[in-house]
Structure 1
Amino acid sequence: MEIINASSLINVTRAVVVILFLCCFYTTAAPAQSIVIVINTAEENLVLSKQQVRNIYMGGALSRKFKAIQFQPGNPLRVDFNTKVVGLTESRVQAYWAQMKFTGRSYPPVELSSINEVLEYLQRVDNAVGYLPAGIDLPSNLTVIELPSNISK
């Protein structure tokens, strides 16, 4: 019978942990998607800066004119949007909204669970703003907001 020393056991354990971590990471990580900002507005040539879209979603002054909607937490499209447009991680966005709700200063965007729900809401509510995967077929009454900088990368 062979005796295994502690050093060898630690090295094997570390190797197993690294392999398990890499397997989990590569099987659950969703690829980044291209995103388009969509609005229900009569203004066909509406252009908003990335900062203005961020302000709509973070309760700034434009959020009083536009009604932002978003996907539920954990949705890969929401994570991409928060990272690319809002510039914050999902946990930072949720912490921000928890503070805003607690103090009564503002309330987060409406959360919907599917692309179909987002499309229905966008069509039904004037000045509703949402984000969707690029390339999706949009109804004719919805407008893609052109941002000066490309957020699909």
Structure 2
Amino acid sequence: MKNYIPLLLVSALSFAPNVNANNTIYVVANTTDSLIKLNRQQIRNLFMGGAIPYDLKAISLPPENQTRVLFNTKVVGLTEARIQSYWAQMRFTGRKVAPKEVDSEILALEYLKNNKGTIAYLSSTAEIPSNLTIILEIE
């Protein structure tokens, strides 16, 4: 039995997901300008209702989505609770509208493909069609 414990441990670890493999996020847009590049601050402004030099409509994933959690951490720099509080205040005062929310990355990709002038964040595992532009890669 003692001989099987190391073997089981090695087997279990070999099937464990690579934590770093899924930490890259792509910010992807459906835009006629395929050379468009935005920096992290511009992306943050766009998803938080701020002004940027392009007319793009932000698409967001649901709060429990792991890609959204990573995006909020790496780009927005706020917790989900703080972001929800911010948008509640903006809705209440009528100043800004939160990004459109879709239920999954598959639906976000479909929405992007079918709507010019939209932008979303996706995990590195998403297959980005050639007609969409990767605006920023976040590791």
Distance 1:146 1:33 in 2: 14
Deviation of 1:63 after TM superposition, in Å, equals 8.9
What SS class does the counterpart of residue 145 from structure 1 fall into? strand
**1:8 aligned residue:** none
Q: Give the aligned partner of residue 42 of structure 1.
A: 32
How far does the alpha carbon of each residue in 1:35-92 deviate from its partner, in whole angstroms, 9 at most, with x for none? Answer: 0100001111211111100010000113981110111111111111011011111111
The whole-number CA distance in structure 1 between the counterparts of 2:25 and 2:80 is: 16
| Aligned residues with identical type, % of pairs | 48
The offset of 1:136, in angstroms, is 2.3
1:14 aligned residue: none
Other structure's SS at 1:53 match: helix
- Are 2:28 and 2:132, in contact at CA under 8 Å, matched by a contact in 1? yes
Instruction: Tell me the distance in 1 between the aligned counterparts of 2:63 and 2:72.
Output: 11
In 2, are the aligned partners of 1:79 and 1:90 still within 8 Å (CA)? yes
Q: Which runs of 5+ in 1 are unaligned?
A: 1-30
How many equivalent residue pairs? 119
- Answer 1 or 2: higher relative contact order, Cα 8 Å, separation at least 6: 2
Distance 1:63 1:73 in 2: 27
Asked if structure 2 preserves the Cα contact closer than 8 Å seen for 1:57 and 1:63, the reply is no
> 1:104/1:72 Cα in 2 relative to 1: closer, same or farther (>3 Å)?
same
2:72 is matched with 82
Per the alignment, do residues 64 and 99 of structure 1 end up closer, same or farther by CA in structure 2, a change over 3 Å counting?
A: farther
CA distance in 2, matches of 1:44, 1:98: 34
Paired position in structure 1 for 2:126: 136
Please list every run of 5 or more consecutive structure 2 residues that lacks an aligned counterpart in the other structure. Answer: 1-18
Tell me by how many angstroms 1:135 deviates: 4.0
TM-score, normalised to structure 1, is: 0.73
Q: How does 1:3-152 map to 2 (within 5 A)?
A: 31=19, 33-62=23-52, 65-146=55-136, 151-152=138-139
Return the alpha-carbon distance in structure 2 between the equivalents of residues 63 and 77 of structure 1. Answer: 25
More helix per residue: 1 or 2?
1
Between structure 1 and structure 2, the one with the greater Rg is 1
